[in-house]
Structure 1
Amino acid sequence: MKTLMLTAAAGVLLASFTASAESIGADDRAAIIDTITDIAAGADRHQWDRVRGAFADTVTLDYTGLWGGEPTTQPAEAVIRQWSAFLPGFDRTLHLVSNHAIIESAGPTAVAEADFQAVHRIGAESWVLMGHYRYDLTKIDGTWKVSRLVMTPAHETGDRALVNRAAERAGQPG
């Protein structure tokens, strides 16, 4: 009986997930994945206009799972100023984002999830972070934009303090 109940519950969950995932068209799905990629690849390549284009005018960033504190809501330009003030201080970064899923969609809004691995290097030292992103997106003038990004860490290796060293190297206070 328990197995039957669990199987039925799993079927209901799968059906509801599938229904919400199927309600978005292939073009929108591809555009959402492109938006997510623009944030990661744009940051690695220091293509700040590309990153800015992926964000709504106001964005909430939630890195509390890693750094503590509270989520921040700010203009996208402030996010770009912050990221461009420390990411160039690394010799190399590589943010790989995969396993994209659109978990909710309703008209001009969607929620997507993806897994990530982020490698940050200075010389022979590295900090590698792995985890999960959740993105709230809104379609604005026909283009999907991220309005909220929640990062949940799962595993890290190396030296997290490299972030402060990168900021110093980029000429900014740590």
Structure 2
Amino acid sequence: MNFKIRPATKQDCKEISRMIMELAVYENMSDQVKISHEELERDGFCQNPFFECLIAEVPEEHKSKEGFTIVGYAFYFYTYSTWKGRSQYLEDLYVMPEFRGNGIGKALLSKVTEVGKNKGCVRLQLSVLNWNTPSLDFYAAKGAQDLTVSEGWHFIRFDGKHLDDLAKGAPKN
């Protein structure tokens, strides 16, 4: 199938927002999505963006049943390891179901990695739900290590009231 991978623009945020919701539905977490396309525009296309995004686009003649030509995305940002240095975190990699199996996911993953390598990143990290065997197998086939198994790391999160409480405890100097 003919497709291209390109950096997302501010004008793509409605389509990215649509696919974020599609991914959340697949992951049985649609009630967790609170972000709007306006927030994506603000946070990704400002002077110091919080994230970068690549999109997969097919020609008009291959558009989806619903009429979409933007059929996948890779959403990532940069982190830093005190042990290894520059790193990338892949928040989402998504391809619409009817376009899977055409190399789009692999192309998105490869392009994200190329962008990171060009910026001096020495690793790419991501999280996958434990029941998402197709994704676990996809990443494993590309050489990914499951750190939960090999090193015993746990992914930890603070949000909501607990995040507020932590911030309130900061020194006021």
Same fold (TM over 0.5): no
Between the two structures, name the one with larger relative contact order (CA 8 Å, sep ≥ 6): 1
TM-score normalised over the length of structure 2:
0.31
TM-score normalised over the length of structure 1:
0.31
